[in-house]
Amino acid sequence: MSEIYKTDALIAENIDAYLETHQHKTMLRFITCGSVDDGKSTLIGRLLYDSKMIFEDQLATLEADSKRVGTQGEAIDFALLVDGLAAEREQGITIDVAYRYFSTEKRKFIVADTPGHEQYTRNMVTGASTADLAVILIDARKGVLTQTRRHSYLAHLLGIRHLVLAVNKMDLVGYDRAVFDQLVADYRAFAESISITGFTPVPISGLAGDNITTRSDQTPWYDGPVLLEHLETVELDQSANQHKPFRMPVQWVNRPNLDFRGFSGTIAAGQLRPGDDIRVLPSGKTSRISRIVTHGGDLEVAVAGQAVTLCFEDEIDCSRGQVITAAKAPVEVADQFEASIIWMDEEELVPGRAYWLKVGPQTVSATVAQPKYQINVNTMEHLAAKTLDLNAIGVANITTDRDIPFTAYEESRDLGGFILIDKMTNRTVGAGLIHFALRRAQNIHWQSTDIGRAHHASLKNQKPMVLWMTGLSGSGKSTIANIVEMKLARMNRHTFLLDGDNVRHGLNKDLGFTDADRVENIRRVGEVAKLMTDAGLIVITAFISPFRSEREMVRGMMQPGEFMEIFIDTPLEEAEARDVKGLYAKARAGQLKNFTGIDSPYEPPEAPQIRIDTTRMTPDQAADLIIEKLIP
Amino acid sequence: MSILTLTHLQRLEAEAIHIMREVVTQAEKPVMLYSVGKDSAVMLHLAKKAFYPSPPPFPLLHVDTTWKFRDMYALRDRAARKAGMQLLVHQNPDAVRQGINPFDHGGLHTDMWKTEGLKQALDLHGFDAAFGGARRDEEKSRAKERIFSFRTASHRWDPKNQRPELWRTYNARKNKGESMRVFPLSNWTELDIWQYIHLENIEIVPLYYAAERPTVMRDGLMLMVDDDRFPLGGEKPVMRSIRFRTLGCYPLTGAVESRATTLPEIIQEMLLTTTSERQGRAIDHDQAASMEKKKQEGYF
């Protein structure tokens, strides 16, 4: 009889004593990873079954399902307990992260069940992000596979310090010690190559129940812990976290009335007592803790993992997204980082495009540079990469639009792990792990100049402006831009026309027409246009600029009110019919790749300041309309 | 330095509080769904903790079917008052007009009062985030649902198109017309809920405790005759010592025979029992994977 079965007697005889024990249980979150047929669902099903987390009615369903769709003949197919959604049940595979719960005398466990197929790296990363431990399953007959290496690498990357190598299906190799020892040696060689310092190997059989909750008679040569025993005793990350300096990102400013001002958040690291000196970042302001407020009364000490409300002795500014730290051990603040990026969206990363970056409660705008390299998660090789597509992992520099407090991911998942959100779709498209800040940001300061932009503009007696024309190739942008400039010149306005084709002969001649290059093209043009507005000019641009995000990015670079988006709206059929430069014909013939409107998308503006319907007005009329809007 | 190891309940509590704070700072108009059951009681208690000394900065919403137990209505009004929160009650006017009831209308009862009623209430008030007390251990399709779970403008859930959810960094940005269901108790089990109620001394509906109550048997479920709308056709209800493990509409909620009159006794019974809690609810028995289907259609 295992420990878990003995508890029934205690529950029946002395429920109060039982509750007392259970109130003091700790919690371990772990993930299980394995390839499709490694027996992962069976193992989890077995853990649930053996810890009595399956009720009679569920068992009845399980037995019926086992006969109907199971893979174990008349025997119970534990995997069916775990495979959740209807679609998956039909396919016979798990396809997403599912969470399972069971508990023993000592601990409550949350298991993230993550699938093993290649295309679902993102699910495993999701499951691993909250786990303290990973169980890496391998089939004793198959040994260390590509998937094994990938799962181990991902678990290690996501900062899981405890790895268990569960060598499953030992029953199918006759519980042979030599097989086990060889597999462990193979795995050790690989683990060391990616700096995994330790792991716990256990020979098991999920189907037969060997060494899972109870020690197996079949493996007398094995003297290590059985799986559950190890899960019950392994050291928790939360203990290690308390030894670090104090850090708490502020989630919410708690202000019920004028007499109370507290800062609510979940402590990311360390311990805190009233009277401790603190520093708020990025402002750097310092104060002292006066109270640690909770609903159950003020605390004498608060530790990592607790959700609290802090009050300061002084009235200093502090808001959502800022980080309260120990005064003597503050975190770093920077706006440029190197990070590992895991891409999680069908639509690939576009280097240079602005995404929302959310680290803890703070959301900022950020761009990812072209990756330094991509990692082949099967061989750990570094590959050259221009972008990252779904499930790809790479290393790249990130630039945020303001300073953020952070730590390396290694140091703290809360302060070093971030997600990237697409600004248009609002999907979570990537996850990032901060390595370190780039010093560049700190060493380049703004040189202040005596003659400012206002001075430049007043000399020219005009308001600087960017007239940003966007539209398909052949829509008439350049023609209209040229007329606008001529008319403004006659009105003695100082202008400059930046034309897409012309810029590509010089400033941007190193760029092609991939999505990433298009973004960089627009970013550079935006920067040039910005300098010209600083010089007091009216800048007219004629670029296809097909993506909304980049047009928004350029708008964001300019002073408020100095950017006018003008949509030169010519339907594709019309532009193609005109085909002034013969480009559509080439594109249709397949001689020109990534041509906007043909095999590359154009995202029309949703609310342009001016829309020019070229099928209903001449270029001259269009130019007049624009000037009217510019100089009313 | 002495290490203060947090218990599993302390960690679950902190997680729920963290989630609630993320919602109020990111959503435009949040609301807490309050069904008066034990999970709702825990969720409301956690909301009080999350924002203390401020009151929770959102109202409570009860999507009423008019068929709940009388004891539930009494506790609902009292609990909202004690928390200092506004209580909104929504009854689907179409269901009221058509007199939809569990005796005559079968599955339509849940569909109109609960699924449609909920959609109506959220649309009516323009809530963009609704807290729900669902737990992942209740049912298999819930095990895969995110903590921040998005619904389309027509309130549908797409299990294949869920956002990855990493660490405790929740992406609450929504597209036009979308809304969120947020489940702060996702990682709690039934035992956790009971232990927490015990530990924190949270008031729950007396029906969870055993008492002599009038009962009849219907389709294998032991039902309580809570008011005179129950069609008896001459049958005389039998007094039995019963309690409920889960609470819903009284004509659809099966009781269990029990003598458990204290929380430890309830927990004891739960731990020694051999059937799962949803078995007392008629709603899941309809068909395999029924909950997943209902969720896709907009059931909470």
Q: What is the tens place of the pLDDT at every residue in B225-263?
A: 888 887 888 888 899 999 998 888 888 888 888 888 998
Choose the catalytic residue: A41, A129, A478, A545.
A545
Q: Determine, yes or no, domain membership for B80.
A: yes
**Other C-beta atoms within 10 Å of A503: how many?**
19
Residues B117 and B251 both lie in one domain: no
Per-residue pLDDT tens digits for A363-404: 999 999 999 999 988 788 899 888 999 889 999 999 998 889
Q: What is the pLDDT of residue A53?
A: 56
Per the structure, the count of domains in chain B is: 2
In a shared domain, residues A220 and A138: yes
Tokens 């987390």 belong to which residue? A53
Q: What percent of chain A has pLDDT over 90?
A: 43
Question: Is the CB of B49 inside 8 Å of chain A's CB atoms?
Answer: yes
For residue A214, being part of any structural domain is answered with: yes
- With respect to residue A444, please indicate whether it lies within any of the assigned structural domains: no
Write out chain B residues lying below 8 Å of A265, CB-based. Answer: 21
Residues B18, B162 within the same domain: yes
In a domain, B198, yes or no: no
* Per-residue DSSP letter, A244: S
Same domain membership, residue B99 and residue B76: yes
Asked if the structure places residue B1 within a domain, the reply is: no
Read off the pLDDT band of A405 (50, 70, 90). Answer: very high
Q: Give the position of tokens 């901060």.
A: A434
User: Is A260 among the domain residues?
Assistant: yes
B57 part of a folded domain: yes
**What does the H/E/C string look like for chain B?**
CCCCCCCHHHHHHHHHHHHHHHHHHHCCCEEEECCCCHHHHHHHHHHHHHHCCCCCCCCEEEEECCCECHHHHHHHHHHHHHHCCCEEEEECHHHHHHCCCHHHHCHHHHHHHHHHHHHHHHHHHCCCEEECCCCHHHCCCHHHCCCEEEECCCCCCCHHHCCCCECCECCCCCCCCCEEEECCCCCCCHHHHHHHHHHHCCCCCHHHCCEEEEEEEECCEEEECCCCCCCCCCCCCEEEEEECCCCCEHHHECCEECCCCCHHHHHHHHHHCCCCHHHHEHHHHCCCCHHHHHHHHCCC
Same domain, B178 and B220: no
Flag whether B108 is in a domain.
Answer: yes
Same domain, B187 and B238: no
**Does A23 contact B7 at a Cβ distance shorter than 8 Å?**
yes
Q: Is A284 left (phi over 0), alpha (psi -120 to 50) or beta?
A: left
* CA–CA gap between residue B107 and residue B13 (Å, rounded): 35
Residue of chain A with shortest Cα separation from B186? A99
Please check whether residues B24 and B153 belong to one and the same domain: yes
Q: What's residue A204's pLDDT?
A: 92
> For residues A166 and A178, what is the distance between their CA atoms, to the nearest angstrom?
16
- Partner residue opposite B9 with nearest CB, options A23, A85, A251: A23
Convert the pLDDT of each residue in A53-106 to its tens digit: 555 566 666 666 666 655 665 566 666 666 554 444 454 444 577 788 888 888
CB–CB contact B169 A417 (8 Å): yes
Angle at A449 between CA A630 and CA A468, to 5 degrees: 25
Q: Which domain holds residue B55?
A: 8-192+289-297
What is the tens place of the pLDDT at every residue in B106-149?
777 788 788 888 888 888 999 999 999 989 877 666 777 889 98
B residues 193-252 near A, CB within 8 Å?
195, 198-199
Residues B45 and B166 in one domain: yes
The minimum CA-CA distance between B127 and chain A, rounded to whole Å, is 19
Token couple for B114: 């609960």
Distance CA B273, CA A12 (A): 11
Domain co-membership, A501 together with A470:
yes
Q: Which helix (H) or strand (E) holds A67?
A: helix A56-69
Do A107 and A174 share a domain, yes or no? yes
Q: At what angle do helices A515-534 and A548-557 cross, to 10 degrees?
A: 20
Contact call for B1 and A239, based on CB within 8 A: no
Which residues of A are less than 8 Å from B144 in CB distance? 84-85, 96-99
Partners of residue B172 in chain A, C-beta under 8 Å: none
Residues A164 and A50 in one domain: yes
Distances (CA, A) of A86 to A42, A83, A93, A284, A403: 18, 9, 11, 53, 46
Percent of chain A's residues with pLDDT above 70: 88
Least confident of B129-133, B142-146, B179-183, B217-221: B142-146
Q: Both A223 and A284 in a single domain?
A: no
Note whether B53 and B180 are same-domain residues.
Answer: yes
pLDDT-derived band at A147, boundaries 50, 70, 90: confident
State mean pLDDT over A342-359.
Answer: 92
Q: Does B276 touch chain A (CB under 8 A)?
A: yes
Give tens-digit pLDDT for B42-100: 999 999 999 999 999 999 999 988 888 889 999 999 999 898 899 999 888 887 888 77
Runs of H (alpha helix) within A85-210 = 86-91, 121-128, 146-157, 177-193
Q: How far is CA B115 from CA A454, A577, B89, B119, B176, in A?
A: 60, 52, 15, 6, 22
- The CATH number of whichever domain residue A594 belongs to comes to 3.40.50.300
Task: Flag whether A28 is in a domain.
Answer: yes
Q: Can you give the pLDDT at residue B221?
A: 85
How many other CB atoms sit within 10 Å of the CB of residue A347? Answer: 14
Give the tens place of pLDDT for each residue, A104-120.
888 889 988 876 565 56
Beta strand A133-139 with A26-33: parallel, antiparallel or unpaired?
A: parallel
Q: For residue B26, what is the nearest residue in chain A, using CA coordinates?
A: A361
Q: Are residues A232 and A291 in the same domain?
A: no
Number of domains observed in the structure of chain A: 4
Q: What are phi and psi of A146, to 5 degrees?
A: -55, -45
User: Are the Cβ atoms of A110 and B175 closer than 8 angstroms?
Assistant: no
* Residue A431 shares a structural domain with residue A533: no
**CB-based burial label for A454 (10 Å; 0-12, 13-18, 19+):** exposed
Asked if B55 is an interface residue toward chain A (Cβ–Cβ < 8 A), one would say yes
Alpha-carbon distance B163 to nearest alpha carbon in chain A (angstroms):
6
The pLDDT, as a whole number, for residue B109 is: 77
User: Are B175 and B235 in a shared domain?
Assistant: no
What was the pLDDT predicted at A449? 67
* Contact B8/A at CB under 8 A: yes
Which residues on chain B are in Cβ contact (under 8 Å) with A100? Answer: 137, 143
pLDDT of residue A371: 92
A545 belongs to the catalytic site: yes
Residue from A393, A401, A318 nearest A356 by CA: A401
CA B171 to chain centroid = 24
Nearest CA to A40 among A49, A50, A31?
Answer: A31
Across the interface, which of A98, A101, A295 has its CB nearest the CB of B144? Answer: A98
User: What residues make up the domain containing A259?
Assistant: 245-326
Out of A26, A99, A419, whose CB is closest to B169?
Answer: A419
Q: Which of B21, B161, B221, B290 should we substitute to test contact with A (largest number of A Cβ atoms within 10 Å)? A: B21
The number of residues in chain B equals 300
Same domain, A336 and A361: yes
In this prediction the ipTM stands at 0.88
Considering only CB atoms, which chain B residues are within 8 Å of A340?
none
| A-B contacts (CB, under 8 Å) | 200
Bigger pLDDT: B3 or A369? A369
What pLDDT score does A118 carry? 52
Helices A121-128, A146-157: inter-axial angle, 10-degree rounding: 40
Task: Report pLDDT digits (tens) over A566-608.
Answer: 999 999 898 888 888 888 888 888 888 888 888 888 999 988 9
Condensed to tens digits (0 to 9), the pLDDT of residues A122-133 reads 788 888 999 999
Which of B15, B45, B140 is the best substitution to test chain A (most A C-beta atoms within 10 A)? Answer: B140
Digit-coded pLDDT (tens) for A437-456: 887 544 444 555 677 888 88
Q: Let me know if residue A443 belongs to a domain.
A: no
Identify the pLDDT of residue B295: 57
Co-location of B16 and B69 in the same domain: yes
Q: Are residues B55 and B123 both part of a single domain?
A: yes
Burial status of residue B59 (CB atoms within 10 A of its CB: 0-12, 13-18, 19 or more): middle
* Domain co-membership, B247 together with B116: no
Reply yes or no on whether the pLDDT at A352 is more than 90: no
Task: Provide, as residue numbers in chain B, all residues whose Cβ is less than 8 Å from the Cβ of A424.
Answer: none
Whether A212 shows a pLDDT value over 80: the answer reads: yes
Based on the domain organization, do A36 and A175 belong to the same domain?
A: yes
Tokens 């020109």 map to which residue? Answer: A592
pLDDT of A162:
93
User: Which residues 110-129 on chain B approach chain A with CB closer than 8 angstroms?
Assistant: none
Contact B166 A107 (CB under 8 A): no
Q: CB distance B171–A426 less than 8 Å?
A: yes
Q: Specify whether A271 is located in the same domain as A367.
A: no
Both A262 and A398 in one domain: the answer is: no
Residue B170 located in a structural domain: yes
Contact B162 A303 (CB under 8 A): no
Which one, of B203, B204, B224, B206, lies nearest residue B215 by Cα?
B224
Question: Does A101 sit within 8 Å of B187, measured CB to CB?
Answer: yes
Averaged pLDDT of chain B: 84
Is the model's pLDDT at A435 over the cut of 70?
yes
Per-residue pLDDT for B283 more than 50? Answer: no
What is the tens place of the pLDDT at every residue in A230-269?
999 988 877 788 889 999 999 999 999 988 999 999 999 9
CA distance linking residue A252 with residue A249, whole number of Å: 9
Section A357-364 average pLDDT? 94
Kindly determine whether residue A27 and residue B18, on different chains, have CB atoms separated by under 8 Å.
Answer: no
- Are residues A11 and B276, on separate chains, in Cβ contact within 8 Å? no
Q: Classify residue A453: in a domain, yes or no.
A: no
What are φ and ψ of residue B98, in 5° steps?
-85, 0
pLDDT score recorded for residue A530: 92
Polymer length of chain A: 632
Residues of chain B positioned with their CB less than 8 A from the CB of A294 = 49, 52
B271–A11 CB contact, under 8 Å: yes
Residue B197 falls within a domain, yes or no?
Answer: no
Q: How far apart are CA B83 and CA A230, in angstroms?
A: 43
Note the pLDDT tens digit of each residue in A288-306: 999 999 998 999 999 999 9
Q: What CATH number corresponds to the domain at position A359? A: 2.40.30.10
Residue A490, pLDDT score: 85
- Rounded to a whole number of angstroms, the distance from the CA of A88 to the nearest CA of chain B is 11
Return the CATH number at B38: 3.40.50.620
Token pair belonging to B298 = 């907009």
Answer with the one of A294, A326, A358 that is the final residue of a domain. A326
* Residue A471 is assigned to a structural domain of this protein: yes
Same domain as A308, residue A174: no
Q: How confident is the prediction for chain A on average, in pLDDT?
A: 85
Residue B249 belongs to a domain: yes
In b/e form, how buried is each residue of A174-197, taking b as 16+ CB within 10 angstroms?
A: ebeeebbeebbeebbeebeeeebe
User: Which among A96, A295, A360 has the least Cβ separation from residue B144?
Assistant: A96
Domain end call among A237, A266, A289: A237
CA distance A418 to chain B (A): 7
Inter-residue contact B202 to B41 (CB < 8 Å): yes
Q: How many angstroms away from the CA of A411 is the closest CA of chain B?
A: 14
| Residues 6 or more apart in contact with residue A165 via CB below 8 angstroms | A136, A138, A183, A184, A187, A199, A200, A201, A202
Mutation site, B166, B171, B189, B267, interface A, largest A CB count within 10 A: B166
Which residues in chain A are closer than 8 Å to B191, comparing Cβ atoms?
Answer: 22, 103
Q: What is the pLDDT of residue A156?
A: 93
